Amino acid sequence: MSSLAVKTPCVGLCSTVYGDLVCRGCKRFCHEIIDWNGYPNERRLAIWQRLEQLQVQVLASKLLIVDSQRLREQLEARQIRFVAEQSPYCWAYQLLRRGAGRMRNLQAYGLALQPAFAGMPLAELLEQVEQAYFQASLACYAALMEQA
């Protein structure tokens, strides 16, 4: 990710306006959303890195990256935006968010389900991913508040 212009992780589904301390859309903390424009790039990158670590943790527990080059090619062919410098698990997250209801053959995308999730519909898997990602962000927020 370029340090010249660190873009926001916002996905346009902010739930902090409804009182959530962690956004259900981008998984940032409410104060990070409010203060984003005032943060230096180093702080923004640190937030992106935390979000990436959480995504990788959640996705790796449910999916396997079998062929990252095939995944990248499929994302490019379908014009799905992803950050090339991030982990292929983050790419897989973007793919699931855009196409879980339409995808049939994960192997065509260079992916496979972990054995515990074999046969699970991808829309259901995405729901589990989103919930686990949100819970992981909540845990990070709780840890931060304990330190304060």
For 73-122, write each residue's pLDDT tens digit.
999 999 999 999 999 999 999 999 999 988 989 999 999 999 999 999 99
Q: With residue 63 as reference, give the H or E element that holds it.
A: strand 63-65
Q: Place 5 in a pLDDT band, splitting at 50, 70 and 90.
A: low
> Are the CB atoms for 23 and 14 separated by under 8 Å?
yes
Ramachandran angles phi, psi of 16, nearest 5°:
-70, -25
In this prediction, residue 75 carries a pLDDT of 96
pTM check: above 0.85: yes
Q: How far apart are CA 53 and CA 47, in angstroms?
A: 10
For residues 77-113, b (16+ Cβ closer than 10 Å) or e, as one string? Answer: eeeeebeeebbbbbbbbbbbebbbeebeebeebbbee
Locate 90 and state its tokens. Answer: 């983050």
Looking at residues 119-136, what average pLDDT do you find? Answer: 95
